[in-house]
Structure 1
Amino acid sequence: MLSVGRNQGAGAGVSAGTRSGAGVVGRGVRMTRVGARWRVSRPWPARLRPFVHSYAGYWEATTTPYRVRLVPTGRAVVVISLGEPFARVHRLGEARADGQVTGSLVAGLEDGPRVCDHPGGQEAIRLELTPLGAYRLFAVPMRELTNRVVGLDDVLGPAAAVLAERLTDTRDWAARFDLLDVALSARIERGPDPAPEVREAWRLLADAGGAIPVGRIAAEVGWSQGHLVRRFTEQVGLTPKASARVLRFDRAVGLLTREGANPTEVSAACGFYDQAHLNREFRALAGTTPGRMALARVAEGALAL
């Protein structure tokens, strides 16, 4: 990849920034050291901003096996593998499938934690999509992807392999992002439009950090609760109630990882009954405690294990 040697080509792009741990390498591309890996980012076009939450490439200069736990964020994830694939991706508590290899993948919305094992030598592009952005990009009922990880080609068909091959063969990250922007824009523009009522329901939930009753949302959009639940689940993946739970948890994670955060104050700010309620939700959704989560380095929904 990158013609003659993947890491050689990628490393050349960061040489000016390695001493400080970060660098701008041209055309808006920025590389930042994140542990043993480099994170490569560039602002995505305005036309994609309603649909894309985050957007970055990753690569390792050295081969270091690692394990991370992914926690629910209220977003769908696409990983386009350009190097070594994940060895295992499984829900916490599930029996592992020995020999499972997962390359480019799609993960729908989750309501529980997932563990990812990687053998090292990663090079990939990772996107986080808003639920309705994912609905437009994937053009399938989002409930079919809830709590599931599937191959990217299972969703996008043969075009997925073509895109991954072109990205792998492209020499620099700016050109890679150019290719990705064109492919995403074309697919999203052709995708199904979410119902305006579902779009408004998601906006109300997200703006409130999940702290809004489903009955009030149904009244705001003019649907019965039953109709809202059916259409919302089809186009978002989780029910409104489950989405509210995940969004409230995600907001609490963000507040707890701030310096000097107080769990009691976070509980009240996020709409938990008390700190015991906060603790129960963290165990259910992340498999850990708020205190351990606050001490961990959380990056894009991932905790290093």
Structure 2
Amino acid sequence: MHERADAALWDVVRLSRPSRVAGVTMAGFRAHETTPVTLRLIPHPAVTLALVFGAGSVTVDEATVRRQPGSLVAGLGFGPVRVRRPENFECVQVRLSPVVARAILGVSPADLYGAVVALDDLWGREAARIRERLADVSSWEERLALTDALLTRRREAGAPVDPEVAWAWRRIVVSRGLVRVDRLAAELGWSRKRLWSRFHSQIGLPPKRAAKLVRFDGAAHHLVAGQDAARVAADCGYTDQSHLHRDVMAFTGVTPATVANEPFLAIDDIAWPTRGHGVRRGTTEPAELLQLHR
């Protein structure tokens, strides 16, 4: 059974200061519904880590495959995925820049490309211990601080990506996905083949696909902000509206009009207010809960 979108009520809380790890953002979520709700995961140019705690587990539906992880990790560029979350759901959601994802997760983002996996499969018993610790602390401020300390420790112990690869990723993000791959290679003094190989192995997808994902992300949030699809196509560097339609369908399995009505995307500028997409729904003070009707 699907709950009406306007009946859902979320609490959203974010860190009072930036994470100690550059490229990491996080937010706490609590949903008050007493019945399960299914949400569509929209691909994002970050590896997503959902640390679920308390009672219940999320169920991930991918075509005919259904899995029930505790906490989960969504790699870059996953296809159409729906997540059915339990009643009274609580989690800390973390967005990891692919520049730091390998060090924190302990696996290459390339191994997670297009997939949603259980955190237990990556971290073993540590995933269960984290879930217990998050449930034991009494405040969101403590939970976010605990999560930040965990990520900082893992980042310091992990292997960094090449500085040239990190630079190329930042250029793609800053350009909103519009920079050409051959230009990136020329600016680095690398061959196109060398850039493709290093970038793909360390970031998790080829540079051209990375640019396509970043461009799609910007377009999706402009659609949610209420902009006309034709204008979004022009502003985000698509050849025409049909080009935008094909990209949105490829990433989500639904049309731009459906993406425009995705309620959870409207939360992004509250939970991660520095995104810069212009979707402004509200603000939170440190450790203050925001109640948001979807």
TM-score by length of 2: 0.82
Q: Secondary structure at the match of 1:126?
A: strand
Decide which of 129, 132, 152 is 2:119's aligned counterpart. 152
CA RMSD of aligned residues (A): 2.3
Once the two structures are TM-superposed, the CA of residue 294 in structure 1 deviates from its matched residue by 2.0
Q: Whole-Å Cα distance in 1 between the matches of residues 148 and 91 of structure 2?
A: 15
* Amino acid in structure 1 at the alignment position of 2:93: R
The aligned counterpart of 1:80 is 51
Checking the alignment, whether the CA contact within 8 Å between 1:37 and 1:59 is kept in structure 2 is yes
Contact kept, 8 Å, 2:61 with 2:82, in 1: the verdict is yes
TM-score (norm 1): 0.79
User: SS of the counterpart of 1:125?
Assistant: strand
Q: Structure 1 residue 85: deviation in Å?
A: 4.1
**How far 1:46 sits from its partner (Å)?**
4.9
CA distance in 2, matches of 1:210, 1:192: 26
Structure 1 residue 280: deviation in Å? 1.2
Which has the higher relative contact order, 1 or 2, with Cα contacts under 8 A spaced 6 or more apart?
Answer: 2
Residue 64 of structure 2 corresponds to which residue in structure 1? 95
CA deviations over 1:80-125 (Å, ceiling 9, x no partner): 111244442133xx2133xx32111111112422111123221211
Q: Does 1:66 align with 2:33?
A: no
Q: Does residue 65 of structure 2 align to residue 109 of structure 1?
A: no
Moved more, 283-292 or 67-76: 283-292
Structure 1 unaligned regions, length at least 5: 1-32
4+ residue runs of structure 1 moved beyond 4 angstroms?
none
Q: For 2:65, what is the secondary structure of its paired residue?
A: coil
Change (3 A) 1:237 1:34: farther
Please give the secondary structure, in 2, of the residue aligned with 1:47: coil
Assess if the C-alpha contact under 8 Å between 1:279 and 1:290 holds in 2.
Answer: yes
Which structure: larger Rg?
A: 1
Q: Please, which of 162, 167, 172 is the counterpart of residue 129 of structure 2?
A: 162
Distance across 2 between alignment mates of 1:285 and 1:180: 29
Letter in 1 for 2:64: A
TM-fit CA distance, 1:39 = 1.7
Name 2:230's counterpart in structure 1: 264
Q: Does 1:189 align with 2:162?
A: no
Match of 1:39 among 7, 12, 17: 12
> How many equivalent pairs are there?
264
Give the fraction of aligned pairs with identical amino acids, expressed as a percent: 36
Q: For 1:252 and 1:229, how far apart are their aligned partners in 2? A: 25
**Aligned counterparts of 1:34 and 1:192: Cα–Cα separation in 2:** 44
Q: Which amino acid aligns with 2:49?
A: V
